[in-house]
Amino acid sequence: MKMVVSMINKMTTSKMIRNQDAQFMLLGAFIIAIGLTVVTIMLSSIIFEGNKAIMAGSDESKTDMVNVMQMAQDEIRNAYRNSTTLGGDDTINNFNIHMREFGNYMSLIYAVHGEVVTVTWEDWNDKEYAYFTDNGAVNGMPDWIVAENTQNSTIMVNITNISGPLNVNVINATKIWQKDFSFPGMSIISDDDIKANINPPYSIKFINGSNANGKYSVTGNTVYGRNFIYARDYVLNTTITFSNSKVSANVTVPISVPW
């Protein structure tokens, strides 16, 4: 009797100790769930990266920056024209006040979009007049066309310093009429002057512009009836800084005033 009982005991206890049932269904479910999560996260990263590539193609910061530069250029020219037309003793001061107000309001209106914009400029106090090259600097192109397809025009040239001959050519399809300048001073070539020597339509070209600096202005109209004005007194360097969360830029642009 005792032997039987002990045998039964052994059988039951060994069963309990060696119970190796595993719950494979739950284990399988867990493995599949983890696998799903991993795969979906990878998929979602792929989609995100694809969309980001598309979004990066059209960036708004570039157009905003170009907008700031355009506005600064127009404003400097307007401020210069306005302050010099009003005249008086305070031209540079008025110019600076105008540009300061402009800079402040620009920062305000761009701050609404989350962009920090600052505009700094220089005035023409103690500044030399621009050279007669295409961009106003001494190393710009010395021979360049100022106006084309012109019907009527008046050319004003006011030379401050000159180190070699400066020529103004009026060119039409058949003839070139050249006017030379060798000394400082103001000269005006009127419309009648030009018409007496050459027939419209013509283009006006400056030759050897790097030899002289001063002011010029060419006003008139084209053969299509459109009025134009090209003039330059100084070249003022304007610095624009632009930054938003993605990009930060600092650009210095030389701006010719008044047109």
Partner 1 sequence: MVIFKKFDDKAQLHTLEGVAAAALMLTVMIYIIDATSMTPLTSSSSNMHMESELGMLGQDILNNMNYAEPGYDSKLKSDIMNWNGNEYVWNGTNYAEKGAEDSGRELKNNLTDILAKVLARKAIAHNVEMTYISTSNNATYLFSKNMISNGDPSNNAIKISRKIALHDEDINSTLFPSNLIGDIDPSTNLYNIIDVKIVMWRI
Partner 2 sequence: MKIYKNDDALMSIDYVAGISIFLITVIFVFQFMYGLFIPFNVNSDGVTLSADRVSTVIIERYLNVDKSKDVGTIDQGKLYYFNDVKLNSSNYTEYKKILKEVGLFSTEIIYDLNMSVTRLDDSIMNQSGPSLPNDIDIGQTKRMVLIINKSTDYNETAFIEVRVW
Question: Scanning the structure block, which residue is given the tokens 């023409």?
Answer: 124
Task: Tell whether the torsion through CA atoms of 247, 248, 250 and 253 is positive or negative.
Answer: positive
For residues 151 and 79, what is the distance between their CA atoms, to the nearest angstrom? Answer: 30
Residue 53 as a binder of partner 2 (CB under 8 A): the answer is yes
Cβ density class 188-202: b for 16+ within 10 Å, e for less? ebebeebeeebebeb
Rounded to a whole number of angstroms, the minimum distance from the CB of residue 71 to partner 2 is: 10
Centre a 10 Å sphere on the Cβ of residue 91 and count the other Cβ atoms it contains. Answer: 17
CB of 6 to partner 1, least distance (A): 14
Using the rule CB under 8 A, is 148 a contact of partner 2? yes
- Judged by beta carbon distances under 5 to 8 A according to partner kind, the member of partner 1, partner 2, none in contact with residue 73 is partner 2
Binding of partner 2 at residue 188 (CB under 8 A)? no
For partner 1, how many residues bind (rule: CB under 8 A)?
Answer: 53
Q: Are 251 and 69 in contact (CB under 8 A)?
A: yes
Window 108 to 147, contacts with partner 1 (CB under 8 A)? 108-110, 112-113
The secondary element (H helix, E strand) that includes residue 54 is helix 24-57
Neighbouring residues of 240: CB distance < 8 A, sequence distance ≥ 6: 65, 68, 69, 72, 117, 118, 119, 120, 250, 251, 252, 253
Question: Which one of partner 1, partner 2, none interacts with residue 224, CB within 5 to 8 A by kind?
Answer: partner 2
Residue ranges in contact with partner 1 by CB under 8 A: 4, 8, 23, 25-26, 28-30, 32-33, 36-37, 40-41, 43-44, 46-47, 50-51, 53-55, 57-58, 60, 63, 67, 70-71, 74-75, 78-79, 82, 94, 97-98, 101-102, 105-106, 108-110, 112-113, 226-230, 259
Residue ranges in contact with partner 2 by CB under 8 A: 4, 25, 28-29, 32, 36, 39, 43, 46, 50, 53-54, 57-58, 63, 66, 69-70, 73, 148-149, 222, 224, 226
